[in-house]
Amino acid sequence: MKRTSLYEKHLAADGRMVDFAGWEMPVQYSSLKDEILAIRNKVGVFDVSHMGEFWVTGPEAFQFIESLIPNSFDVEVGKAVYSPLLNREGKMLDDLIVYKVADQKVLICVNAANVEKDWNWIEKAWKETNPNCEIKNSSDSYSLLAVQGPETEKVMEKVFGKSFTDIPYYGVDTHSNDQGEWVFARTGYTGEDGFEVFGNHEQTVWLWDELMKQGVAPCGLGARDTLRLEVCYPLYGNELNDQLTPLDAGLKWTTKLDKGDFIGKSALVDYKPIKRLIKLSLEKGIPRAGYDVLNMSGEKIGEITSGTMSPILNKGIALALIEVEKFPEDKSFQVEIRGKQYPATYHTKAFVQGGHK
């Protein structure tokens, strides 16, 4: 199994290590609940070095990205865009963030489990369209920390001795200090304010130690998953997969059919969604991935894709994919847990409103 540059730090912090996409990663340190509260109320840090980083550089870097992803990349330099990555059938290969770091310079950050698949796909598209830019898979050269929570900016200013107020939400900037070159991105997966900090392995070990000195709580992937579910961010492999288009999974907003051509566009123009992603909460019982969602007559109409107990709300929360054909007009749902049916409340907004800028 692969280990990040922070493996020893995780053991020293009593991290409980588990296999995640072939990586030995900390799922939890002290208490899952305490880690969740640290991120919502103060500041915590996740090691997400297992994620992949690709660079696209050169005169046609921006155009190449525009042809590769369904979301619009027509943003200023210093901004980032969230998008799915589609195959020619418009089905989702992954979801990723594309950072317009500088003129002719783009950084793509992808899910750990999909690094190889994404790289092969992007390389294929690059060879086919032959744009005037270079592509590079730099995943092995980078470590990545996600510092998240309302006190992130304060802590980052102390550690780096510079102001971060100029970087907007979904903004990106580069910086050099004694340690080397950094990429700072005001992104994350928790709904709170925070930065994802890309650096080489040695730099990142230094940053981890500095964050610990500032009292930043080490947080595991368990907390990260609960936090993202509370703010209803989808997870590839749960809500998103290669059998679904973005239109099936609540990502219509990332699919700009009115922009120029992109991979998968022709398949999506007349596409009729087969699934619909919904948010459900339960007063009693905890919904889990794979549980059946029923209508009020007890007929199965879909499945929970992610579910947990939200320690902040003290109730069960879930995302579920419902078959469009069976979507109940009254928006009344039940979840079956161990043979018993529990009433579920349909939500139009995220369960928790994160405090991001």
Residues that bind another protein (CB under 8 A): 27-28, 31-33, 222, 225-226, 285-286, 288, 308-309, 311, 338
CB of 115 to another protein, least distance (A): 25
> Are 318 and 277 spatial neighbours (Cβ–Cβ below 8 Å)?
no
Phi, psi of 15 (to 5 degrees): -70, 135
- Residue 161 or 339 having the CB closest to another protein: 339
Closest to another protein by CB, 122 or 319: 319
- Shortest reach from residue 288's CB to another protein, in Å: 6
CA atoms within 13 A on the CB side of 97: 18
Whichever of 286 and 324 has its CB closer to another protein, that residue is 286
Nearer to another protein, 285 or 354 (CB): 285
CB of 246 to another protein, least distance (A): 28
User: What is the Cα gyration radius of the chain?
Assistant: 20
**Shortest distance (Å) from residue 310 CB to another protein:** 8
Tell me the closest approach of the beta carbon of residue 211 to another protein, in angstroms. Answer: 23
Place of tokens 């510079």: 162
The beta strand positions in 21-150, using DSSP E, are 23-28, 44-47, 52-57, 80-86, 92-102, 105-110, 134-137, 143-148
Q: Which is nearer to another protein, 131 or 222 (CB)?
A: 222
Q: How far apart are CA 94 and CA 98, in angstroms?
A: 12
Name which of 242 and 292 has its Cβ closer to another protein.
292
Q: What is the DSSP pairing of strand 44-47 with strand 217-218?
A: parallel
CB of 332 to another protein, least distance (A): 23
- In single-letter form, the type of residue at position 277 comes to L
Ordered DSSP codes for 288-355: -TT-EEE-TTS-EEEEEEEEEEETTTTEEEEEEEEEGGG--TT--EEEEETTEEEEEEEESS-SS---
